[in-house]
Amino acid sequence: MNPVHLELKNVSRAVFRRVNKTRVKTQILSSLDLIVQRGELVTIMGPSGSGKTTLLRLINRLAEADSGSIMLNGKDIKEYDPFELRRKVGMVFQIPVVFRGSVNENLAVGMKLWGYENDIYALARDCVIPLELLNADAEQLSVGEKQRVCIARALANQPEVLLLDEPTSALDAASAEKIETLLLNLRKEKGLTMVWITHDREQAKRTGGKRYFLRNGRLEEDHE
Ligand SMILES: Nc1ncnc2c1ncn2[C@@H]1O[C@H](COP(=O)(O)OP(=O)(O)O)[C@@H](O)[C@H]1O
Ligand SMILES: [Mg+2]
């Protein structure tokens, strides 16, 4: 897998440059800058409603910034075909939503869409999905298992960046730990670039990545 190079055209590697986002007259993101290097993991913390999800959604254009620019591999994300952008930039949500059908069918979606030759067994292994679950009805899985399927499904698109919106918040402690370990292994083994939102500062510290707080529409680095 070829990791992404996130950069601001001709200046530095960055995703966000003076990005502003207002919702119903409230400014949520205010001249926000963020630089994410190729293969880097950054975590973003912040109170509920501070705009963390909005910030992630801007990266794969589930939402649009009012002004400012967001670059991916030196190219403004608006210049990408949205479909291609969402393949390159995978997203994992707090509450996993599986597609109807078997686990197998969920994992095969990327192949169908993009013609990729993914090894389903390797995907399952990478995401700690027991092989005997491959033929199970995805809707019947536990929340933790569903989240692993969602991560595997995102990987099946062979993304360059993975956006993680509180991926362990809806899980019990044991499942949360499994997902956290799985994500950290993926980063180590595949060099995936990750933007990981978490409300858990200890988790953010365990990732070993650069940590930010989203406050008053901007990111402040957590140096402690
Ligand atoms: N679709 C929407 N329409 C209007 N306001 C929204 C919408 N989505 C989020 N907001 C508002 O934007 C702010 C930031 O939300 P969000 O990005 O979800 O924050 P966080 O993920 O940090 O909890 C909140 O005040 C929220 O109420
Ligand atoms: Mg959120």
CATH code for the domain in which residue 136 is found: 3.40.50.300
**pLDDT for the residue 6:** 40
Alpha helical stretches, state H, the chain:
52-59, 82-88, 103-114, 120-126, 143-155, 173-190, 201-207
- Residue 9 domain flag: no
For a mutational test of ligand 1's pocket, the pick from 21, 28, 43, i.e. the residue with the most ligand atoms closer than 8 A to its C-beta, is 28
| CA 52 / ligand 2 centre spacing (Å) | 5
User: Which of 19, 45, 50, 213 has most ligand 1 atoms within 8 Å of its beta carbon, as the pocket-test mutant?
Assistant: 50
Using CA atoms, how far apart are residues 213 and 224, in angstroms rounded to an integer? 12
Q: Which residue minimizes the CA distance to atom 16 of ligand 1? A: 51
Q: Is the C-beta atom of 205 inside 6 A of ligand 1? A: no
| Amino acid code (one letter) for 148 | R
Which ligand minimizes its atom distance to the CA of 49?
Answer: 1
Phi, psi torsion values for 105, nearest 5 degrees: -65, -35
Amino acid at 100: R
- The reply to whether 14 falls in a domain is no
- Which domain, by its residues, includes 103? 40-61+79-221
pTM, two decimal places: 0.89
Which H or E run contains 27? strand 26-34
Q: What angle do CA 86, 197, 50 make, to 5 degrees?
A: 105
What are 63-97's pLDDT values in tens digits? 988 888 899 988 899 999 998 999 899 999 999 99
Residue 21 is predicted with a pLDDT of: 81
What's the whole-number average pLDDT of the chain?
A: 87
The pLDDT > 70 percentage for the chain reads 92
CA of 91 to the centre of ligand 2 (A): 13
Which ligand sits nearest to residue 54's alpha carbon?
1
70: in domain: no
**169-181: per-residue pLDDT in tens?**
999 999 999 999 9
Q: Which of 212, 150, 158, 209 is nearest to 182 (CA)?
A: 150
Here the tokens at position 31 are 């001249």
Domains in the chain, number: 1
Residue 87 lies in a domain: yes
Cα–Cα dist 8/102, whole Å: 41
Please indicate, yes or no, if residue 3 is contained in any of the structural domains: no
Verify whether ligand 1 is closer than 6 Å to residue 52 (CB atom).
Answer: yes
